[in-house]
Each structure stands twice: as structure tokens, then as C-alpha cells.
Amino acid sequence: MSYLLTYLQSNFLEVPFFCVAHYFLGTKKNLWSSVLTTSFANAITHPIVFFVWLSSGSQLNWLSGILAAEAFAVIGEIALHGYTLGLHQRREWFIIAIGSLSANLISWELGPILTWLSFLR
């Protein structure tokens, strides 16, 4: 149950950034389409980051492991959004990349704070 709450919290923090990115792309899709696309991408990347990268006990130190995991999340989300939206132009990929970088940075920074305030306090 605690992982589900962590996933939902991360998704809640990232969805607004991708909605803005989708808006700047000028997609004709509605808000729910952006929410579902982001939730789909997070449903694929988040468990891999959470269970594989962060708990694998790899040869990387803690900071290197986090950076590798977040790089995977960003690249994976860019690819999934690009495929789902059918992006072709460099500008479109750049907009989704900025959205993914922003979303993951905020999620990575605010997620632990919200977890502490909500559950551990």
C-alpha cells in the first residue's frame, strides 16, 4: 500500500508539467488525455526506478544510483510521450524533454518532503 501512495504522489506532482507541455505542443487532446498519457508513462518507469534502480544494491554509490535512475525515468518518459503523441519535429521532442526534466526534478525534490509531512510525521 505504501508504494501505491508513493506512485500516486509522484504522479500527482508530475501530471501538471506534462499537461503544460502537451498544451505547448498544441495537441488537440483534452486534459484527461494528458493525465492518462502521463499516468501510463509513470506506471512503466516508476516501478523500474523504485524497485530496480534504487533497491538493486548496484555498484554505484547512492548519488550515482539516484542520478542513473532519474536519467532513466526522464529518457523513458520522453520516449513514451513521444511515441504516444506521435512526435516528429525536434521542437516537439524538446518541449516534452523540458516537461519531463521539470516534472522529475520537482517530483524528486518535493516527493520526499510530502512523504515526510504526510506519513512519517
- Say if residue 99's pLDDT is above 90: yes
- Say if residue 17's pLDDT is above 80: yes
User: What pLDDT is recorded for position 89?
Assistant: 92
Give the residue, 3 or 94, on which the prediction is more confident.
94
User: What pLDDT is recorded for position 29?
Assistant: 66
List the domain boundaries for the chain: 2-120
HEC readout, the chain: CHHHHHHHHHHHHHHHHHHHHHHHHCCCCCHHHHHHHHHHHHHHHHHHHHHHHCCCCCCCCHHHHHHHHHHHHHHHHHHHHHHHHCCCCHHHHHHHHHHHHHHHHHHHHHHHHHHHHHHHC
pLDDT band at 3 (very low <50, low <70, confident <90, very high): confident
- Calculate mean pLDDT across residues 66-93: 91
pLDDT in tens, 34-59: 899 999 999 999 988 888 766 665 56
pLDDT in tens, 79-92: 999 998 888 899 99
pTM of the model: 0.85
User: What pLDDT is recorded for position 44?
Assistant: 93
